[in-house]
Structure formats: structure tokens, C-alpha cells
Chain A
């Protein structure tokens, strides 16, 4: 039995920062991630991050991951269990982490769930075919393992994920035929991200959707069609793309299975990506000993995930009686507010407001 003060589930930007904040305040922390290395989805982010120059903006995602990973590995109060997955949480307060050979029982005093999100799927013919990937999966393949799964790519979805992956594919010298989106305008990508791939020759084709992929055992071509204002296909606007990879960048949803298991109060908030746990400003859920931070608390992005992680981590330490400078929590909250003051965070703010008007 491992009995840490704080169990952190997930080693991405939120989890790493929760672990560091709690441990720096004096708490003992167990950080579990099912991947072999820390960093979560940061490890494949090769672009420079927005944010405050004074707080590390301009660093690339994988560099941030390396920095935090180093701090965690050298921290005397943080123990990591990598390659292990938290597979269950029980009413008596025991959590279970397992890999194929081994398992650990964990009895923590506080838990921060920072499990992140998974990619959404859309329906079209043969969407289960090899060659159809989640956009994040190809990012991992190429930027973490240096493997390009094909030469010619079609990307579905013009949010930040879609346009950033397009840029990264160009950096790996792959050919991106187009980004398509069913919407009549960008699906959420920042203008500068969309502009930098278009000037490099990747077209963004709006009001267009994918109808199917075809090939012998693997994607060889993708069929698309234009749509009207009601998203209905317009006959005669079909267009075939000769591609061997189709990337789906059609949104993310919180990975909240563990919270479901524990009966933590969740609400369906589309602006936050689906079912999200009710939580207060510090990430505390309806279960007073369980916190959430990062995408599992509502789909947002890495900078805000890291801030949320810091806040939750400090709050767990405060709960357990460690000395925490409350000004630090207030400052982090203020930064989060400042960051979200952008019109780009409007949807997230509306979602959070709706969540907060609901009861615990």
C-alpha cells in the first residue's frame, strides 16, 4: 500500500504542475501516468506557446515538458509510477494502479485527476479504416517517435489542433493536401496559426465534409463534398483527395471515467467538451477530497491546464495543513482570469459560468 498525501492521476501539464505545487508545499505526492514518460501531450508540441514572456511564453511545448519532468524527477517528495494506469477507485478510499504484471494499492489523502481528453470521432464510410487517425496520434508518431505514417494528408477540422498538425507535417516534409471543415468559417483556430499554413500553400476548404475513405486494406483516397448552410451535401461539389492518411481534428472530450466511477457530480456542458465534473475555482469537485485540473475539467489548453494544476496542487497541500502562501493561489487565479479575458476564451468562460450556476 502506498499512502501519499496526494495522488495525481495523469502526467501532462496539469498533473505535473499539481504534483510540483503540492510537493513544493511539503506534501508527499504519487504521480501516475499510463505512458512511459511524463509530459502528456506537451511532448509533441513543437510550436512556441503563447502567454506571458515573464512566465515562459515562447518556449515550445516539449521544452516545457522536459523542464517540469526534470523538476519532478529530482523532487524528494514526488514518486512517479510510469507505465501504470489508475484502473479503479473504491468507496473505501483505495485506488488501484496497474500495469500488465503488477499492481499497487494506493490510499491517498487527496487526489488530483488530470487525465486530459480523448479525440472525438465523426461518421463517414470506412471511418474505422487503417489510415484514419486522430490528429494527436499522428503528432505523437511523428514528433515523439519520428515516424511519418504516410506521405499525403487530408485534415478534417480547422481548430487549433488541425492547423498546428498541418504545420508540423510540413516541418516533417510531408504533403498536406488540404484542411477541410464543415463550418462556414475557421473551426476555432487562431488566425495566425491558420495564416501561417495557408501562406505555405495548405488550403483551408470551408463548408466541406468527408463522406468516406477507400483503398485496399489502407486509406488510398478520401471523398469529400460541399455543404449548404444547413450542413446538407450539395450534389456536384464532390472532390476526391488522393491521400494515404486522413487526420481527424474534430474536437476533444474530457476523459472522466474515474470520476464517473466515484459518483462525482458531472454536468453536460457542450462549451467545455461534454460531461465535466462540477468543480470550484481550486478544482475541488463535489467529492471534497477529489480535485480536477486541465482538460478533464473542461477542454481548454496547455497554459491554462498548467495554471489549474498549480492551483489544485496548492489547495490539496493547504487542505492537509501544509504551509501555503495564499497570495500565490490568488495570483495564479488572477493569471487564469487574465489569460481568459481574450475573446478566444469566450466559449470556455460561458461554459464555466454555466457549470458554476449548477449545484454541487
Chain B
């Protein structure tokens, strides 16, 4: 994985960097990009475990449709991290069950 810096067609102007916590460690990403994009850019590919067989699941559809990237964000489960913008200080965890409403 890497961030694209030069591109023949597109520009990727520098954006504001923010720190967030993924599974207990501090990670850097860009403010406003989807949480899952920041994780992939840092080389973290597992977003959740499948509910029954506990298999790793990662980024798949990028349109908030497939539920492969559901994670626990700031204690809330079932967050579709491919369409949820990253904010400073977010606490992001791999989701291991169906999630519970508190």
C-alpha cells in the first residue's frame, strides 16, 4: 500500500493530518477521508471478523453497501468505515460480533 503523490490526471493536494487510535495504537490519516481508506493506507487490511466463522474481512465495496468494513468506532458498532469520515482522536476497533445496542 502507499499514497499516490504524482498522477498524470489527478491532483492530491496535501490535506490535514489527524491522529486516531486503531486497536490501541496511534495511527495517522487525513481528516475527512473514510476511516477504512486511512487504515488501508497504513497497511491495516482487516476491518472486522465474520460473525460465525471469525474470518478476517476487509475493504470491499467502498459505497457503504456490503458490510465487509463494519467496525466499532468510538464504542459504536456497525459503523460503515468506507463511507464514514475520519476525525482526530477517533477510537477504531476491529468488530468481532454483531454489535450490541447500548
Q: Report which A residues bind B (CB closer than 8 A).
A: 34-36, 46, 60, 62, 83, 85, 100, 116, 118-119, 128-134, 136-138, 140-143, 145-151, 171-173, 217-218, 255
Dominant secondary structure at the B interface = loop
Across the interface, which residues of A come within 8 angstroms of B82, CB to CB?
Answer: 137
Across the interface, which residues of B come within 8 angstroms of A137, CB to CB?
Answer: 59-63, 82
A30 to B62 CA separation, bound complex (whole angstroms): 24
Give 12 pairs: A residue, B residue, CB < 8 Å, sorted on A: A35-B64, A36-B32, A36-B85, A46-B10, A83-B83, A130-B47, A130-B57, A131-B45, A131-B58, A136-B61, A145-B37, A173-B4
Q: Are A142 and B4 in contact (CB under 8 A)?
A: yes
A34 to B8 CA separation, bound complex (whole angstroms): 29
Chain B positions 49-101 with a Cβ under 8 Å from a chain A Cβ: 50, 55-66, 68, 76, 79, 82-83, 85
A130 to B9 CA separation, bound complex (whole angstroms): 28
Q: Are B40 and A141 in contact (CB under 8 A)?
A: yes
A150 to B1 CA separation, bound complex (whole angstroms): 4
B102 at the interface (CB under 8 A from A): no
B33 at the interface (CB under 8 A from A): yes
Q: Are B83 and A35 in contact (CB under 8 A)?
A: yes
Q: Are B61 and A118 in contact (CB under 8 A)?
A: yes
Given A130-B45, A136-B61, A217-B56, do A147 and B3 touch, yes or no (CB 8 Å)?
yes
Interface size on B, residues (CB 8 A): 39
Q: Are B50 and A141 in contact (CB under 8 A)?
A: no
Q: Are A60 and B9 in contact (CB under 8 A)?
A: yes
Given A35-B64, A141-B40, A217-B45, do A130 and B56 touch, yes or no (CB 8 Å)?
yes
B28 at the interface (CB under 8 A from A): no
Q: Which of B10, B46, B55, B66 has the most CB of A within 10 A?
A: B10
Q: Which of B34, B37, B50, B62 has the most CB of A within 10 A?
A: B62
B18 at the interface (CB under 8 A from A): no
Q: Are B1 and A149 in contact (CB under 8 A)?
A: yes
Across the interface, which residues of B come within 8 angstroms of A46, CB to CB?
Answer: 9-10
The residue in chain B whose Cβ has the minimal distance to the Cβ of A218 is: B45
Across the interface, which residues of A come within 8 angstroms of B60, CB to CB?
Answer: 132-134, 137
A227 to B70 CA separation, bound complex (whole angstroms): 36
Across the interface, which residues of B come within 8 angstroms of A149, CB to CB?
Answer: 1, 40, 45, 59
Q: Are B55 and A128 in contact (CB under 8 A)?
A: yes
Across the interface, which residues of A come within 8 angstroms of B46, CB to CB?
Answer: 130, 217-218
Closest Cβ of chain A to B20, distance in Å, is 15
Interface string of B19-34 (1 = CB under 8 A from A): 0000000000010111
Across the interface, which residues of B come within 8 angstroms of A118, CB to CB?
Answer: 61, 63, 65-66
Closest Cβ of chain B to A187, distance in Å, is 20
Closest Cβ of chain A to B94, distance in Å, is 11
Across the interface, which residues of A come within 8 angstroms of B64, CB to CB?
Answer: 34-35, 85
A334 to B64 CA separation, bound complex (whole angstroms): 35
A119 to B61 CA separation, bound complex (whole angstroms): 7
